[in-house]
Structure 1
Amino acid sequence: MALVPLKRRRRASSPPAGPPGPGRFPAVVLCLVEKRMGASRRAFLTQLARAKGFRVDRAYSAAVTHVVSEQNSGAEVAQWLEQQREECGAEGNPALLDISWFTESMGAGRPVEIESRHRLRVTTLAPHRWQMAPYACQRRTPLLHSNQPLTEALETLAEEAGFSGSEGRSLAFTRAASVLKALPGRLSTLEELGPLPGIGEHSRRVIQDVLEDGVCAEVERVKLSERYQTMKLFTKIFGVGVRTASRWYQEGLRTLVDLQERGTKLTRQQQAGLRHYDDLNTPVERGEAESISRAVQGAVQRCLPGTSVTLAGGFRRGKPHGHDVDLLLTHPEAGREAGLLSRVVSWLDSQDLILYQHSQENSYALQEGPEPPGGRDVMDRFERCFSIFRLEVQGGPGAARGWKAVRVDLVVAPISQFPFALLGWTGSRHFERELRRFASHERKMVLNSHALYDSRRNLFLPAVSEEEIFQHLGLEYVPPAQRNT
């Protein structure tokens, strides 16, 4: 199937932000859960109920008496309710009801009596024990959390496992850390975890050690090991991955000076990474990222007016600093973006803003089949430029010479694929991994940064926004600031 421009579909209008009035039944205030119901159906049911005299509030508040859900378990709705209470600061104890109560009430033209068959069953948990959805993409994970020492210990072991080539072990520690990041409060005892998903016995031992002693001996041994320190040093070089770093370690190399003195053969990218090592390993501040974004925007408008430049990555998730800058470029007219990147990079280079660049062409084509090409790839196949930007600075690192080197990725996405690109390039990496795992295991779909493919219907599902992608997957939309898994 050829890739053709997708018409922007008119989305169902959302119900007004506030209720129209108390309605005919002032003792009943409804709130419909959008998850799995979808925005369009929720809007339709809201209009239907209001037409029959019911008050339906768009957002949860203490006034809500009936929460109505469709195709969600009692545990899922209870978790949704807790999230709403945290966000709005309102308590209340509404009835958690299946859609059957709503349907019968609409048929009767009044609120029918709540029977046991209408109520969603919620298993009561032991005191101090939290509930947690099994996939990170089903949870809201803020940038700041209360369990930093615990997650740092687990992420150190995840990194070490990755250096050793044990991807399964690395993923296990990463999943455990992501659960702790999503906890609503500080973990005090191991018992509080209960049977939360994603936390294995090894992770529990690490958590217990940190809770009891403040540190984990295993983690401290890893941090002090020569191999771990050397692997961290080498993998921080732009263009050096785990395999290359491991080979250098096996060859007896231990420092950056060793690489130079022993005449180690480096790619052009690695040479640039070594030359600007200190700058590239100095955090990029948000203001610096925005300055680079403005510079690229200026170049883009010179080359193709109307093109948008979006700051993605950790900065879109609310991080105050990061290790590089990811910028997505797209044009509202399909096909106009072709050839744009080379013109933009050439202009930036002519302004002495580029210290290094390597571009690659778009190698993606939407085709019929059981899954999109590269559907399980971590990276995508967009046209992109890996570059090192020359950023003028007045203070901090590089102030003496007046500039610092910053890693910048420029990615060009066709407008029809832009929502998928934005979702994929926002991260976090674990959130994206879990989102694709959920799509595959729970929905029999394949998601990548180009498309969403429904294997059961043999159909590509178009989307004009991130929200619509989540809707296709039957997931509650998670805003970027809550994807810091």
Structure 2
Amino acid sequence: MVPLKRRKTLPSDAGNTVSDSSRHKVPNKFSQVVLFLLERKMGASRRFFLSQLGRNKGFQVEDVFSESVTHVISENNCGTEVRTWLESQGRGQSLRVHLLDVSWYTESMRAGHPVEITHRHKLQEQQISEAEVALFSVSSYACQRRTTLDNHNSNLTILTGVFGVGAKTADRWIREGIYNLEQLRDSGQTLNRAQKAGLEHYDDLNEPVTKAEADAIGEIVQKAVNSVLTGSQVALTGGFRRGKLTGHDVDFLITHPEEGKEVGLMPKVVAWLESQGFLLYQKTTRNSYLESKDGPARPASNMDRFERCFSIFKLTKGKEQESTQPEEQNDLKTKDVLRPHMQADTDQQLCELSKNYQMEAASHKIWRAVRVDLVVSPISQFAFAVLGWTGSKLFERELRRWAGHEKNMSLSSHALFDNTQNKYLRATSEEEIFAYLGLEYIPPSERNA
């Protein structure tokens, strides 16, 4: 068996220098405070973002837990759980550190200095069972664990709730003093096309998408695909395939049973959707995946290389809503709303009345914006694409890690390559892929790691 590789760790002082060489090193302003963010239940990407935010504010945030740490920051863990973790690191009894909820950290970031620690910031002790304690020693591979939807992980949205804005851009804006949408609109920042659409449709895009809405979009996509290439297949993936009732977007995989028939399909589908008025925004990328007899090259990023359309759909609300709100009634006139109040004698009153009108008009809107990703896959790669696009992200990452460390294989959303036999392993179903990896098959509903 190939031994596990140790995760590379940075020295404690390396965390104060960001990877981008264009950024300067921010001096530590608070020498008596040394912070460590616990990744458990917080997630690696969120921990990285919050750590960088703290360092940019002048805090010393350690990547590795050590004796110098004075404050341990946790999210969705009780004090007992964190102490159990400390004990598992051999540090439980000897250290006297503050065990704090992430709320203390975010409040300190806003204040620009460590805020006073109050009772509500302190992690509370709770009784946990032996089974819960055992969670700290289970296999590190999420693809060996069954994880249902009933878990307590949560995500943080700051400015990253704007479509087209990632952690790096949000971090830059925060360092420039932009913390909310109003400040972003007034800042004069140059936004790309995706970010402009994201800001314009922010409320809709941050409203959960229901399974019924996902199914309605699925019917539209299926109609579009059938209109340009009969016999094509459309599969709903992502969280909805894992059993979620709501999500932040909708993902569809498209293929055709005859290899090669899918070439040129995406532009035709997008053109049909645009002609029918379904797209508020779209950006298409081409398929850049190529197989090599020597095995897959290391990808430039974690994203696959399928032909893809990132889009914002204009989804008409249900017929039962339309019947009670006909379009002629929805087309409200400002004068009709303001007429009873024409005696208002101050600009502030008129401004408030105008805001009320806008809110009333928005409440009568018969459509909403929804994020939709369309992905086209050749039938030979479809099983791998379905597995990769079903998620969760952590489950997929751990599945690839298992393949590499335990089986000496390379897994992606395109293919599975056996490095020992120096050949690709073909599969027509997810069950075959799990079998190649020597894993018990886990259904989509239990991949919510």
**TM-score exceeds 0.5:** yes
Residue 456 in 1 paired to residue 420 in 2? yes
- How much has 1:375 moved relative to structure 2? 5.0
Name which of 377, 380, 383 aligns with 2:304: 380
* Cα RMSD for the two superposed structures: 3.8
Residue 410 in 1 paired to residue 374 in 2? yes
Contact 1:156 1:219 in 2 (8 A): no
Judged with a 3 Å threshold, the aligned counterparts in structure 2 of structure 1 residues 202 and 449 are, in CA distance, closer, same or farther, namely farther
> Equivalents in 2 of 1:300, 1:225: separation in Å?
51
> Equivalents in 2 of 1:190, 1:252: separation in Å?
35
Contact 2:83 2:92 in 1 (8 A): no
Aligned to 2:315: 391
SS at match of 1:470: helix
- How much has 1:302 moved relative to structure 2? 0.5
Q: Where in structure 2 are the equivalents of 1:21-420 lying within 5 Å?
A: 154-155=41-42, 159-165=46-52, 190=81, 217-226=100-109, 232-369=157-294, 371-375=295-299, 377-394=301-318, 400-420=364-384
- How much has 1:227 moved relative to structure 2? 5.5
- How much has 1:349 moved relative to structure 2? 0.8
- How much has 1:359 moved relative to structure 2? 0.2
- How much has 1:250 moved relative to structure 2? 1.4
> Equivalents in 1 of 2:166, 2:405: separation in Å?
29
Letter in 2 for 1:454: D
Using the size of structure 2 for normalisation, the TM-score is 0.62
Aligned to 1:58: none
Judged with a 3 Å threshold, the aligned counterparts in structure 2 of structure 1 residues 281 and 152 are, in CA distance, closer, same or farther, namely farther
SS at match of 1:154: coil
- How much has 1:256 moved relative to structure 2? 1.4
> Equivalents in 2 of 1:177, 1:418: separation in Å?
37
Contact 1:420 1:448 in 2 (8 A): yes
Give per-residue Cα distances to partners, 1:240-283, cap 9 Å, x unaligned.
Answer: 11111111111122221222222101111111111111110100
Give per-residue Cα distances to partners, 1:266-322, cap 9 Å, x unaligned.
Answer: 111111111111110100001000100111001111011111111000000000100
Query: How many residue pairs were aligned?
Result: 312
> Equivalents in 2 of 1:456, 1:168: separation in Å?
39
Judged with a 3 Å threshold, the aligned counterparts in structure 2 of structure 1 residues 442 and 348 are, in CA distance, closer, same or farther, namely same
SS at match of 2:41: helix
Contact 2:86 2:92 in 1 (8 A): no
SS at match of 2:427: coil
> Equivalents in 1 of 2:447, 2:43: separation in Å?
20
Letter in 1 for 2:46: E
Aligned to 1:38: none
> Equivalents in 2 of 1:295, 1:204: separation in Å?
60
> Equivalents in 2 of 1:191, 1:217: separation in Å?
10
Contact 2:75 2:102 in 1 (8 A): no
Name which of 389, 403, 407 aligns with 1:443: 407
Judged with a 3 Å threshold, the aligned counterparts in structure 2 of structure 1 residues 204 and 436 are, in CA distance, closer, same or farther, namely farther
Q: Which runs of 4+ in 1 moved over 4 A?
A: 165-170, 187-196, 199-205, 225-229, 394-399
Judged with a 3 Å threshold, the aligned counterparts in structure 2 of structure 1 residues 455 and 243 are, in CA distance, closer, same or farther, namely same
- How much has 1:372 moved relative to structure 2? 1.1
- How much has 1:483 moved relative to structure 2? 0.2
Judged with a 3 Å threshold, the aligned counterparts in structure 2 of structure 1 residues 156 and 484 are, in CA distance, closer, same or farther, namely closer
Contact 1:158 1:169 in 2 (8 A): no
SS at match of 1:389: strand
Judged with a 3 Å threshold, the aligned counterparts in structure 2 of structure 1 residues 450 and 201 are, in CA distance, closer, same or farther, namely farther
> Equivalents in 1 of 2:62, 2:93: separation in Å?
17
SS at match of 1:355: strand
> Equivalents in 1 of 2:75, 2:272: separation in Å?
43
Letter in 2 for 1:219: V
- How much has 1:378 moved relative to structure 2? 2.0
Give per-residue Cα distances to partners, 1:348-384, cap 9 Å, x unaligned.
Answer: 1111110000001001011122x41345842100000
- How much has 1:233 moved relative to structure 2? 2.2
> Equivalents in 1 of 2:282, 2:384: separation in Å?
25
> Equivalents in 2 of 1:359, 1:422: separation in Å?
20
- How much has 1:323 moved relative to structure 2? 0.3
- How much has 1:195 moved relative to structure 2? 12
SS at match of 1:310: strand
Using the size of structure 1 for normalisation, the TM-score is 0.58
- How much has 1:152 moved relative to structure 2? 11
Gaps of 5+ in 2: 2-37, 54-60, 65-73, 113-155, 323-358
Letter in 2 for 1:382: F
Judged with a 3 Å threshold, the aligned counterparts in structure 2 of structure 1 residues 287 and 250 are, in CA distance, closer, same or farther, namely same
Judged with a 3 Å threshold, the aligned counterparts in structure 2 of structure 1 residues 455 and 390 are, in CA distance, closer, same or farther, namely same
Contact 1:190 1:204 in 2 (8 A): no
- How much has 1:217 moved relative to structure 2? 2.6
Contact 1:420 1:466 in 2 (8 A): yes
Give per-residue Cα distances to partners, 1:80-109, cap 9 Å, x unaligned.
Answer: xxxxxxxxxxxxxxxxxxxxxxxxxxxxxx
> Equivalents in 2 of 1:437, 1:203: separation in Å?
30
- How much has 1:202 moved relative to structure 2? 9.3
SS at match of 1:232: coil
Give per-residue Cα distances to partners, 1:438-470, cap 9 Å, x unaligned.
Answer: 000001111010011111111111111011011
- How much has 1:347 moved relative to structure 2? 0.6
Identity %: 47
SS at match of 2:157: helix
Aligned to 2:35: none
> Equivalents in 2 of 1:343, 1:159: separation in Å?
38
Contact 1:299 1:348 in 2 (8 A): yes
Give per-residue Cα distances to partners, 1:176-203, cap 9 Å, x unaligned.
Answer: 999x9xxxxxx9965997999xx76799
SS at match of 1:282: coil
Letter in 2 for 1:484: N
Contact 1:389 1:405 in 2 (8 A): yes
